[in-house]
A and B are shown apart, each in its own frame.
Chain A
Amino acid sequence: MIEVTGLTKRYGKKTAVDNLTFTVRRGEIVGFLGPNGAGKSTTMNMLTGYIAPTVGTVYINGYNLMDAPEQAKESVGYLPEIPPLYMDMTVNEYLNFVFGIKKCKFPRREHLNEVCEVVRISHVRHRMIRNLSKGYRQRVGLAQALINDPKILILDEPTVGLDPKEIVEIRNLIQKLGQTRTVILSSHVLSEIQSVCERVIIVNEGHLVADALTEDLARSAAANSRYAVRIAAPQDQVVPVLSAIPGMLKVELQGSMEPGTVDVMIEADKDVDIRRALFEECAKRGWYILVITPVGVSLEDIFLKLVDPSSIRPEGEPLTLDQATPEESAKEDDAQ
């Protein structure tokens, strides 16, 4: 659906995006992650044909964006970081303008009604855009991206500046839209990417530092299994007893949240299921396990590890984390 090869953008001596290569397949929801200034928006702008790359090619739906820009752009709906809204228009006028400029072939009234229903702006269609709240402006921006029913949606930081309720609503909407479309979602909000995207591309200082399924990334980054445990037991005995369990690497006392109980953070070898041994040891001593919660590695931990300047992957070398790329996963699936 989207094939990016050697994408590079230089502004004078400054290289904003350096040799990005990746493929996004039909139906994927891909998170494009990176700190501020990493080159996310520049990449989005190149993928949508707003700016031209210095070097590299972008194929959208089989069309080269440089050679056949109009055909390539027909498949893309783009919501930039700042929604491109004309404040002097009503929502209706604006959507009609977008309908025309995108050379949409659908029946005008039905299509616009449908788009407004999806993003839930039907009741504000006759209001001036300048009088709408930021959340509604974002929805109108999303509506313009959906006009002409594009197969690919490129959303650049769609939840920036929204209140928590609006953020949840927009995320749910993106998930819903992703069921029938290819979505590239750029963000620096890690929880957003983790909750919405099945695959993550991480860039830092214009370089690609990771490209993997979100699950694989988290799994490969987690060196050991960790659990938060609450046990009804004498506080002074817990650490030495648990530390003696085979496979246990670390026991950290966290304090006591309930009378007569102890909270500990345990870390064990990831090849050992420490929960069984823990249960047996506690049962033998008459201790009760009240809570046991697995503590996973968050995308935030992975992200911080990857965007560390020392972790930037030199050209041609494997990724920092030994994860399977989506292509490899696909091959494995095919083989099965």
Chain B
Amino acid sequence: MISVWKRELIGFFKNSTAYLLLAIYAFLSALFFCLFVMLNNTSYLGNFFGLWLFIVEIIVVSILSMRFFSEEKKNKTDQLIFTSPVSLSAVVMGKFLGGMTVFTACTMINLVYVFIIDLFGTPDAGTNLANFVGTLLLGSCMISIALFVSCLTENSVVAAGGTAAAFLLLMLVDFVASFLRALLPQWLQWLPEILQKLNVFIWYDDFAGGIITLKSVVFYLTFTAIFLFLTVRVLERRRWR
């Protein structure tokens, strides 16, 4: 697992992928910080860690997904990994940790804005901490989805597009749920309820408000574990096809 994780980091940092992602993240987050915090003369970062930052994170994770499994398959380097005496779950975890490391590095850029607020005002430490924790938990969900999509294709562009499409679908779940709520009879109302609960972005609301709730943490961790498990199963099944 550690070897795969190190290999992922070498891949991200030697190919400039990580620097590109850090640059994109720094530029867009600075833009949103100016728009939602500085122009509003507020020290509250809750609005900053919102929808627009989600979009930046979606871009970052979609680009990360290009390198996970699809590129390995295309370059046939997966032959080395899958013929080595290492379990599939260790490989998937190594890649997950690689993605999380880059995502965490991007998230840490936001610390700059906390320092700026600290210089000119009083930052709300609780809200900021909750938002950082929430962003990392949301990031783990996103990366697990990206890994899953990446193992389904050997085309890097399709992997990135598929990952972005999956996140957009999750964002639209609310809209679909309210549409279904109006259409479905009373005894089927549980369906839109469940659908709505699958929206990973809705679960961020507590963190945005500065509250770390156990149910949100458990949801994000469970969601991540399920997609990592599905990734292992898909890789296992691919060997049998």
Contacts and interface: CB of A to CB of B under 8 A. Distances in A.
Contact of B83 (A49, A54, A71, A86): A49
B10 A89 contact: yes
A85 B79 CA distance: 10
B7 A73 contact: no
A88 B11 contact: yes
B239 A88 contact: no
Secondary structure call for the B interface: helix
B94 to A, nearest CB: 9
Contacts of A76: 83
Nearest to B13: A88
Interface string B1-14: 01110110011001
A86 B3 CA distance: 14
B79 A88 contact: no
B6 A84 contact: no
B197 interface: no
Interface in B127-146: none
Interface string A94-117: 000110111100000000000000
B85 A50 contact: no
Contacts, number: 74
A51 B239 contact: yes
A80 interface: yes
A49 B82 contact: yes
Contacts of B80: 84, 98, 101, 144
Contacts of A50: 79, 82-83, 239
B31 interface: no
A101 B86 contact: yes
A93 interface: yes
B188 to A, nearest CB: 39
A78 interface: yes
B15 interface: yes
Interface string A70-90: 110110101010101111110
Contacts of B233: none
Given A51-B239, A86-B11, A89-B14, A97 B85 contact: no
A97 B7 contact: yes
A45 B6 CA distance: 26
A95 to B, nearest CB: 12
B77 interface: yes
Nearest to A70: B85
Interface residues of A, number: 31
Contacts of A45: 79
Contacts of A98: 80, 84
A80 B79 contact: yes
B77 A84 contact: yes
Nearest to A85: B77
A324 B72 CA distance: 44
B19 to A, nearest CB: 13
B100 to A, nearest CB: 19
A74 B15 CA distance: 31
Contact of A103 (B4, B10, B85): B85
B89 to A, nearest CB: 12
Interface in A184-222: none
Q: Which of B75, B81, B84, B240 has the most CB of A within 10 A?
A: B84
A156 to B, nearest CB: 10
Contacts of B76: 80, 82, 84
Contacts of A97: 3, 6-7, 10
A48 interface: yes
Nearest to A49: B83
Contacts of B222: none
B3 A100 contact: yes
Contacts of B79: 45, 48, 50, 78, 80, 84
A97 B77 CA distance: 12
A2 interface: no
B87 interface: yes
A45 to B, nearest CB: 8
A100 B239 contact: no
Contacts of A54: 240
Contact of B85 (A71, A82, A84): A71
A51 to B, nearest CB: 5
A119 interface: no
Contacts of B86: 70, 101-103
Given A48-B83, A84-B78, 15 more contacts: A11-B241, A49-B82, A50-B82, A50-B83, A50-B239, A52-B239, A54-B240, A70-B86, A84-B80, A88-B11, A100-B2, A101-B81, A102-B84, A102-B85, A103-B86
Interface of B: 2-4, 6-7, 10-11, 14-15, 75-87, 239-241
**Nearest 7 A/B pairs, CB to CB:** A100-B3, A84-B80, A73-B85, A48-B83, A70-B85, A101-B3, A88-B14
10 contacts: A11-B241, A52-B239, A70-B85, A70-B87, A84-B77, A100-B3, A101-B4, A102-B85, A102-B86, A144-B80
